[in-house]
Amino acid sequence: MEEELALEVTSGFWPGVLLGLAGWLFIRYVLTGFFTVNQNERAVKLVFGRAKRLGTGAATTAEGRMSEGLARADEDRYVYPQLEVIKPGGPYFKMPWEQVVKVSVATATVGMAWDPEYPTANQGGTVLDAVTKDQLNVGLTGQIRYRVSEKNLYAFMFGVKRPLAHVMGYFISILRERIASFEAPRRPEADGGSQPADATEVSGVSINDLRKNLRDLNESMDRECRGSEARYGVILDASLITGIDPPQEVESALAAINTAHNHVSSDISLAQASADQKLVQSRRAVEIETLKAQAEVEPLLAQAAQLRALKASGPLSLKAYVRNARLQLLQKAQSVLLGVKP
């Protein structure tokens, strides 16, 4: 009796175990195998830990225009395979041996002093220190706008361990080098006289040049950071430096220097404006006198041309003209004196 009962329990146990195992496998690998990708995301499949390549797997980032931002010596160093990117949408399905990695490609904005590894660095990520060409320590404030490159996801996911930390270090190194060697562009002098140099140019202080040419500095940083996409898979859309501040003990001295040069520049501007006004008035007076002389000469030239035409038509015509001219003069004259021939 006991043997029959044990046989019945055993015969009912294994089908239940198999059914439960099949249900667990269905839930674990079939139902959970479906996934979706949001609008601000891109996804990549890993097959046994290897990212799925695009096409036959021969396409790399060396093809196309991505490597244009790199230096010639770095073109062979930063070559990554092109991955098969899953676009937004779904549902998609992955096999049990596949893994899906999603990355946000939305544009993000961070402070240029932000350190992903040490948030307390650079005064809590608010001010970045740099040294100018005249050995002045300044604090930089501003923002960086970046986004992950859809065309180089391999570099962002697998190229480096902390891509954002590498990108920030790359940007900061270029910025500090640019600050240390920045010189104000030379402006061509205007025609007809040179304008006075402003206070920042006269003083020769590099921080004044930097403050006045913030737009040129930002554009230069955008050009020099184009290689970040090929290096780390991150596109630096724009960098905006909003403030360049020297130490407090230097700020008052700079203000005094700039104020003095502003006064000098104002006096020079007034003197040159007065001189330019007098030059314009002299040119105008010469033009007026020239026009008056031309107006007086023009009737004489016309009369000479008329006399030449009369003379060419015959000697009698010229005599008739002289006679008519005398008659007109006699009509206008009040008295006439006639000479008597001896």
Q: How far apart are CA 332 and CA 210, in angstroms?
A: 81
**More reliable by pLDDT, 255 or 142:** 142
pLDDT at residue 294 above 50?
A: yes
Least confident of 5-9, 87-91, 186-190: 5-9
DSSP string, 49-92: TEEPBSTTTT-BTTSSSGGGGS-GGGTTTS--BPB-PBPSEEEE
Find the mean pLDDT for residues 6-20.
61
Q: How far apart are CA 177 and CA 93, in angstroms?
A: 49
Across all residues in the chain, what is the average pLDDT?
Answer: 78
Query: What is the number of other CB atoms lying within 10 angstroms of the CB of residue 102?
Result: 14
Quick one: angle between helices 248-313 and 315-332, nearest 10? 110
- Looking at residue 205, its pLDDT comes to 55
228 pLDDT band (50/70/90 cuts)? confident
Most confident of 1-15, 137-151, 202-216, 303-317: 137-151
- Domain 41-185+198-246 fold is Tetrahydropterin Synthase; Chain A (3.30.479)
Termini Cα distance of the chain: 189
Q: How does pLDDT run across 182-210, given as a tens digit for each residue?
A: 877 666 554 444 444 444 444 455 677 78
Q: How far apart are CA 309 and CA 250, in angstroms?
A: 85
pLDDT at residue 65 above 60?
A: yes
What are the contacts of 51-59 at 24+ separation with CB within 8 A?
A: 51/81, 51/83, 51/154, 51/157, 51/158, 52/83, 52/84, 53/81, 53/82, 53/83, 53/84, 54/81, 54/82, 54/83, 54/84, 54/85, 55/82, 57/81
Instruction: Name the pairing type of β-strands 34-37 and 41-47.
Output: unpaired
User: What is the Cβ-side half-sphere exposure of residue 183, based on CA atoms within 13 angstroms?
Assistant: 4
Whole-number percent of the chain with pLDDT over 70: 77
- Looking at residue 191, its pLDDT comes to 45
Find the mean pLDDT for residues 250-268.
67
- Looking at residue 12, its pLDDT comes to 58
pTM of the model: 0.62
Per DSSP, helices labelled H in 153-233 are 153-154, 163-181, 199-203, 206-212, 214-224, 228-232
130-168 as b/e: b if 16+ CB within 10 A: bebeeebebbbbbebebbbbebbbbbbbbbeeebbebbb
3-state secondary structure of 205: coil
237-276 as b/e: b if 16+ CB within 10 A: eebebeebebeeeeeeebeebbeebeeebeeeeeeeeeee
- Looking at residue 199, its pLDDT comes to 42
Burial of 204 (0-12, 13-18, 19+ CB in 10 A): exposed
User: What is the Cβ-side half-sphere exposure of residue 20, based on CA atoms within 13 angstroms?
Assistant: 6
Alpha-carbon distances of 268 from 262, 263, 278, rounded to whole Å: 10, 9, 15
Least confident of 14-23, 95-104, 323-332: 14-23
- Looking at residue 196, its pLDDT comes to 47
For residue 139, the cross-strand partners are 129, 245
Query: What values do phi and psi take at 244, rounded to 5?
Result: -130, 110
pLDDT at residue 173 above 80?
A: yes
- Looking at residue 16, its pLDDT comes to 66
pLDDT at residue 144 above 80?
A: yes
4 pLDDT band (50/70/90 cuts)? low
Burial of 53 (0-12, 13-18, 19+ CB in 10 A): middle
Residue 325 structure tokens = 């001219």
- The helix or strand, by DSSP H or E, that contains position 34, with its residue range, turns out to be strand 34-37
Least confident of 77-81, 202-206, 327-331: 202-206
pLDDT at residue 111 above 80?
A: yes
